[in-house]
Structure 1
Amino acid sequence: MIKHFFTLAAIGLISFSSFAQSNGCQITIKDDQQAIEQKTKDKLSAAFYNVYPWFASADGYRTKRSADLIFNSNETTDIKAKAGEIIVNGDWVKGKSQKKIEKQLRNAFTKNWSGFSIQKKKGYKLTFISKDPLLDPLLKQKLIDTYFEIYPTLVKTFNNKSTHNVLFVVDTAYKAVAEASGNRILFSAGYLNAHPTDIDVVTHETMHIVQGYGYSAGPVWLTEGIADYVRYQYGVDNVGSKWSLPAYNAKQSYQNSYRITARFFAWLEQNIKPGLVATLDQQLRAHQYTEQSWNSLTGKSIDQLWEEYSKNPGQVKLKYSSKAEKG
């Protein structure tokens, strides 16, 4: 989980504005008439730095990191906010506590999204933001249910230090499938709408949060291969998601990543060393993985293991999860 530490660096009045900057975000408070006392402006600045970085991170990569704050009692009864602009009712804000200002500012920002909800269950929290007004409510609920069904299991199985506070963002501007960064998972609205049964994309992406390897821990093919192996092994409805591991062919390589590597891992778990994937996951998180890890764990190099696999790839029993079968 990426933690943001906020500091207040208010520099007072500069001509008609109050300027401060923190954590890549900045606010310019404009008060042409000098009608708002400095104490209130300081509360507004502090509220901005406690709320805006959260909004900008959740809203998207291209969200403005700077915002103008102006006072206009004709446009809003309290606070009106969007990326880059905050409008405050000067009469409303007088005498308000910073806590009250923060709450109202957060509420104002959430109105920029089509959907915003927070759910908690057995010590785990999920914040769900949708920027797609056409997102099927039933699909949204399935994504939420999958999180609460699978994520606690992955945390307990692989990394009990993982965050219990996760953010889902469904974005219409994002064109890939999904990606995880820190405690946030970004989903493509277009992909979800085109593949509404693929709920185990949640399993793959939440495993990335659990992995939490950081930079330079190991090759990408290994990271993605483990995430897809975990999807195969722990997914809640791979049959319903129309997802499976591809059959072996001679053109493949263990470095192909994702499902090809995941099938190889299934073979390794059944024929070479049970628990190998979990051990590799631990080494990657501790930044202890090297190419020699394969030799020390199995007595053979990764290339030797792949050669054995290629000679008998059918020597693996594959069973896929299915909600239909569970009833």
Structure 2
Amino acid sequence: MIKKFFILFLFVSFGVATMAQKKRDFTITIADPSNVLDVETKSHLTFAFNVLYPGFASADGYRTKRDVMLEVANNETETIKAKAGEIKVNSEWIKGKSLKKINAEFKEALTKSWSFYSTKKSRGYRLTFISKDPLLDPIVRQNLIDTYFEIYPTLVKKFNPKSTHDVLFVVDTAYKAVAEASGNRILFSANYLKAHPTDIDVVTHETMHIVQGYGYSAGPVWLTEGIADYVRYQYGVDNVGSKWSLPAYNTKQSYKNSYRITARFFAWLEQNVKSGLVASLDQQLRAHQYTEQSWVNLTGKNIDQLWDDYGKNPDKVNLKYSDKKSK
């Protein structure tokens, strides 16, 4: 049974704000050919949908359906049955029900497809964890949660004190990539977590994206992803345990390759050119002040010159990887 306090928190946090911004993106069609639902009941159902479903879709996971069909189906449910894109109602149960009771039952029905949820607070930070995978290893789940509370406050303090203290993790079986961050939500692939159960520092990379919060057109994607992987290298909890490392330089590479290749370049720059360079670039990107001239202003050379210097002596960098076993 999903506790009422959690449902209230979740749908207030993700539902009301989402409804205000995105209500027009969601549609409900009521299929009632026998016309057994009166006008007031249909109005209550539509209102409950507009308040609750956008928040559910935001928290639910990957590509939750926006166009929803509501049907009278007395033989399928005693009250309300709901999932992404589909709602069933029992016309006898709903007859004469108040909006408050309809809301409560609708909330309960929407979240039954989640196999696991939790909310935890620590040191002023909150994490809500939702898993749609009933086979998710509890140890993996706990490691992801622990990594959030260990690393995220550090990243907020170091890079962006204004970043949210309230984050949502969703493990989704339908999501096929590795992970992605959007707003304050991080979406994880259930399949990836099964295949890479020790990769807890995927949390470090993705929470850095939340901290970055650059918005649109702040800078090139390679720079954003390079910074996130550099932060994973620099602040990660257990990169050794994850079997994650920065690749050796070769002449076919480019700083625009992004991710680990760019991150290794940044590690070299931090040690050989300018300490604190990544933090300065991060600040400029967040303020939408970054340009190609930023490299010259910060280091005295443009990005291509810096890459050429790196290519002449790429091994002049001391790489140390986090290792939980050695702590």
TM-score band by shorter chain is: 0.7 to 0.9
- What corresponds to 1:11 in structure 2? none
Name stretches of at least 5 consecutive residues in structure 2 with no aligned partner. 1-12
Deviation at 1:318, TM superposition (A): 1.6
The C-alpha deviation readout for 1:173-220, integer Å capped at 9, x for no partner, is: 222211112222221222111111111011101111111112211111
- What corresponds to 1:109 in structure 2? 110
TM-aligned CA distance change 1:178 to 1:7, over 3 Å: closer
Q: Distance in 2 between matches of 1:67 and 1:200?
A: 37
Aligned match of 1:6 in 19, 26, 32? 19
- What corresponds to 1:217 in structure 2? 218
- What corresponds to 2:269 in structure 1? 268
Letter in 1 for 2:129: F
Secondary structure in structure 1 of the residue aligned to 2:28: strand
Query: Are 1:89 and 2:102 matched, yes or no?
Result: no
Query: Are 1:131 and 2:132 matched, yes or no?
Result: yes
> Aligned residues, how many?
314
Deviation at 1:59, TM superposition (A): 3.5
Describe how 1:34-49 pairs up with structure 2 within 5 A: 34-49=35-50
* Alpha-carbon RMSD: 2.4
Contact 2:230–2:266 (CA under 8 A) maintained in structure 1: yes
- What corresponds to 2:29 in structure 1? 28
Identity %: 73
Deviation at 1:279, TM superposition (A): 0.9
Q: Distance in 1 between matches of 2:255 and 2:146?
A: 33
**TM-score with structure 1 length normalisation?**
0.87
With 38-47 and 287-296 compared, the bigger mean Cα shift is at 38-47
TM-aligned CA distance change 1:251 to 1:72, over 3 Å: closer
TM-aligned CA distance change 1:115 to 1:300, over 3 Å: same
Q: Distance in 1 between matches of 2:102 and 2:163?
A: 32
The C-alpha deviation readout for 1:301-322, integer Å capped at 9, x for no partner, is: 1111122222222222221111
- What corresponds to 1:14 in structure 2? none
Query: Are 1:75 and 2:79 matched, yes or no?
Result: no
Letter in 1 for 2:119: I
Q: Distance in 1 between matches of 2:95 and 2:260?
A: 58
- What corresponds to 2:4 in structure 1? none
Greater helix fraction, Structure 1 or Structure 2:
2
Q: Distance in 2 between matches of 1:98 and 1:78?
A: 14
Q: Distance in 1 between matches of 2:20 and 2:154?
A: 36
Letter in 2 for 1:131: K
- What corresponds to 1:228 in structure 2? 229
Query: Are 1:190 and 2:203 matched, yes or no?
Result: no
- What corresponds to 1:238 in structure 2? 239
Q: Distance in 2 between matches of 1:96 and 1:210?
A: 44
Deviation at 1:224, TM superposition (A): 0.7
Secondary structure in structure 2 of the residue aligned to 1:128: strand
With 38-47 and 262-271 compared, the bigger mean Cα shift is at 38-47
- What corresponds to 2:171 in structure 1? 170
Secondary structure in structure 2 of the residue aligned to 1:68: strand
Deviation at 1:33, TM superposition (A): 5.2
Deviation at 1:226, TM superposition (A): 0.1
Secondary structure in structure 2 of the residue aligned to 1:23: helix
TM-aligned CA distance change 1:155 to 1:97, over 3 Å: farther
TM-aligned CA distance change 1:120 to 1:112, over 3 Å: same
- What corresponds to 1:310 in structure 2? 311
Contact 2:18–2:54 (CA under 8 A) maintained in structure 1: no
Deviation at 1:141, TM superposition (A): 1.0
Deviation at 1:73, TM superposition (A): 4.4
